[in-house]
Chain A
């Protein structure tokens, strides 16, 4: 086979999220002559970005000092915070903990903000390539990372080239920055290959599902930031909701469930939909219309789960490493700071080595350290977690102990080992009716004639062991109805509706056998989120 065509850059950034774009912009600001490329698998910058999002603007002030003169398209200053504890019908106002005091923060569409950042990056002559998937790492002979290999395009379901076939090129660079976000497929490979998680606890995750609604005029109170906990979750599932009121009668609302839940029959999507039927939320949404919906995993392990973020030839930034601050539910400012720090390090040293130490010494990790015990405090259930979280907050994380983080895939209990509580869930009538309808609003698109990008490493397990032990939980934890057990004359089998995938990575994380391997589909495939 002929060798692939090669392009050379000084730095390659994989992923045009806040970490990757901040890194690229910073690199050019410090050393304009650097050749920097950003490779992004979505068809357009922001199309795969999904987040609440209330962000701390400080890194923006540092990166783009004049940003307030030309702010991102959706940018609503926070006016008020509310925290609510919900029961099936009622709600109880809780005091706002310091991590949730959002004065001075802004509600944005992170997707729109990334598109806005990308424009600034291009103005600095960063080469941004949306629609191209970095499918593999290019390794040098000495085993170091030497760049990426772009995925082939125009390959049929059978693996054969179609009329439109184009071979993916190789992009070589002395340093590659992985800004893939949570559970990036290349990051996952590299963490394993270089044993970067050796001295850390396993990473733990949550699934975040979000919908953007246009509500009846007058219902949205721009700048209002609401969070809820309690119903519809039981005390043993970590999670809660957010409701961010935007302008133009728009509301961004969503739900996060920790993926360390034990109930094999639990369906995160259903919990989100139940939440919308609580009187407080229903009142807001009634008569409105859904504009967009989607889901994405979030990283919750924080300090204890942070792997080593450097390896020969590459760095992990943002949630590829896992820098999100869980009690704040904010990861954007951390990702931006990590990206900027990586840029500063590369300009100074020209190599990956030494970055990890700098990151651990920086405000990014200091912030993670301060809140490190809050998430694991909830392993003993909601109320004990609440109490411990309060203690950790009051002591600003200065207590000497550090709780360990456990993995998600091993947390699932088997069907015969678990009795679910009474959930008190209700009949639903708000859209979307089901996951297929929800996927419609994600506008996710995959050419059906391409290899299935959800690899099942041991397919027999699904119909022999998993069906008996766990009841095929993938058919429930996937927010997009990708996995279906279908029964026809041939018997029962797993059907993978790969075209529905919204690239959230939940299946790769939560599968109890760890046989689902998410790889990137053809560049340009996936969700087409707008203003998410």
Chain B
């Protein structure tokens, strides 16, 4: 039977949603699921982890030198805890991608990055070539499986459990050669387009830079990031770092809402991995309706105000 250890991602204040998603992936593998929380002053975070469904145990390692999520410090701790586990998982966030390969190398194994589907305890599907091909990957059964979980592919498990929390002392001390200086949180209130869970996007149909405010307004109401089609950027309605598509950003939000975007293949390439695509367009023949999960043929200048009113 598998014994899975998930290394928890957190920001020192709260558990990251990626942990609940990683638990879901672990459920698909089957077996015991434990979570390791490394950090400093992490009682609250450990409790959050312990509340996740189907978690057996939370191991908390609380030490000053683990306060910052430096891979050089976290990796040896995780490796020390990994003894006896068949699987060690982390999220495919920047934290997970920085940390997990170091753990894998210290354990002498290769890593399965971006697990999107579990075929068995030692078989997975993962994307290559930016998702243009999917590979089946097999892992040797006599070695620990180290992997990162592709968060866009998994739903978060609910909270309702009550696992135990075990405190353990740190195994090592600070690696002197790496020092954390600080974190600057990006931009204003609006989430970054590349990593936002929700994105609202506008096309040339908006008609002007001023009218594009409709998109910003709805995005802010939804706490979403803002994107644009190439046509809108070319027309000068918004800056080009907002462009979503083949020559812009390739994103995979849980929810993507496209207003007045026709859905040329170049744009679809940028959103093909989105969770749910919503399209609003006056033209019922627009290609975006061929890939949208929810389509509404209508005038965005009417629909957006209606949505804002309904969202209250």
Contact = CB atoms under 8 A, between A and B. Distances in A.
Direct contact of A and B (CB under 8 A): yes
Interface of A: 433, 436-437, 440, 445, 448, 486, 488-489, 495, 497, 499
A436 B266 contact: yes
Nearest to B206: A488
A489 B269 CA distance: 29
A433 B287 CA distance: 9
A118 B246 CA distance: 31
Given A433-B287, A497-B234, A499-B247, A486 B204 contact: yes
Contacts of A445: 247
Contacts of A437: 264-265, 287
B303 to A, nearest CB: 20
A489 B234 contact: no
Given A433-B287, A448-B247, A499-B247, A488 B235 contact: yes
B208 interface: yes
Contact of B208 (A433, A489, A497): A489
B264 A436 contact: yes
Contacts of A436: 264-266
Interface residues of B, number: 13
A488 B287 contact: no
Contacts of B269: 440
Nearest to A496: B234
A436 B269 CA distance: 13
A489 B205 CA distance: 11
A85 B207 CA distance: 47
B204 A440 contact: no
Contacts of A486: 204, 235
B270 to A, nearest CB: 12
A499 B266 CA distance: 12
B204 A488 contact: yes
Given A433-B287, A497-B234, A488 B207 contact: yes
A346 B265 CA distance: 49
Nearest to A447: B247
Contacts of A499: 247
Contacts of B265: 436-437, 440
Contact of A440 (B234, B240, B266): B266
Contacts of B287: 433, 437
Interface of B: 204, 207-208, 234-235, 240, 246-247, 264-266, 269, 287
A437 B235 CA distance: 20
Contacts of A433: 287
11 contacts: A436-B264, A437-B265, A440-B246, A440-B265, A440-B269, A486-B204, A486-B235, A488-B207, A488-B235, A489-B208, A495-B234
Nearest to A449: B240
A488 B264 contact: no
Contacts of A448: 240, 247
B57 to A, nearest CB: 50
Nearest to A440: B265
A448 B240 CA distance: 10
Shortest beta-carbon contacts, A-B, top 10: A436-B264, A440-B265, A489-B208, A437-B265, A488-B207, A489-B207, A440-B266, A433-B287, A488-B235, A488-B208
B245 to A, nearest CB: 11
A445 B266 CA distance: 12
B271 to A, nearest CB: 15
Contacts of B208: 488-489
A401 to B, nearest CB: 51
A499 B269 CA distance: 16
A448 B234 CA distance: 10
Q: Name which of A445, A486, A488 has the most chain B CB atoms within 10 A of its CB.
A: A488
A67 to B, nearest CB: 34
Contacts of B266: 436, 440
Nearest to A497: B234
A475 to B, nearest CB: 15
A256 to B, nearest CB: 26
Contacts of B234: 495, 497
A448 B247 CA distance: 9
A436 B265 CA distance: 7
A394 to B, nearest CB: 49
B214 to A, nearest CB: 14
Contacts of A497: 234
Contacts of B240: 448
A323 B181 CA distance: 68
B232 to A, nearest CB: 10
Nearest to A487: B207
A488 B246 CA distance: 25
Nearest to A446: B247
A315 B194 CA distance: 52
Nearest to A484: B231
A114 B266 CA distance: 29
Q: Which of B207, B240, B246, B265 has the most CB of A within 10 A?
A: B265
Contacts of B246: 440
Contacts of A489: 207-208
Contacts of B264: 436-437
A284 B266 CA distance: 27
A448 B245 CA distance: 14
A437 B246 CA distance: 12
Nearest to A488: B207
A480 B284 CA distance: 23
Nearest to B262: A436
A440 B266 CA distance: 7
A62 B125 CA distance: 52
A437 B287 CA distance: 10
A489 B234 CA distance: 15
A499 B240 CA distance: 14
B26 to A, nearest CB: 37
Contacts of B235: 486, 488, 495
A273 to B, nearest CB: 15
Nearest to A438: B265
A93 to B, nearest CB: 37
B262 to A, nearest CB: 9
B203 to A, nearest CB: 12
Nearest to B285: A433
Given A437-B265, A440-B266, 8 more contacts: A433-B287, A436-B264, A437-B264, A440-B265, A486-B204, A486-B235, A488-B207, A499-B247
Nearest to B269: A440
A325 to B, nearest CB: 37
A295 B234 CA distance: 24
A488 B232 CA distance: 11
A436 B287 CA distance: 11
Contacts of A440: 246, 265-266, 269
A378 to B, nearest CB: 36
A491 to B, nearest CB: 12
A373 to B, nearest CB: 44
A118 B89 CA distance: 49
B249 to A, nearest CB: 14
A134 to B, nearest CB: 26
Nearest to B210: A489
B250 to A, nearest CB: 15
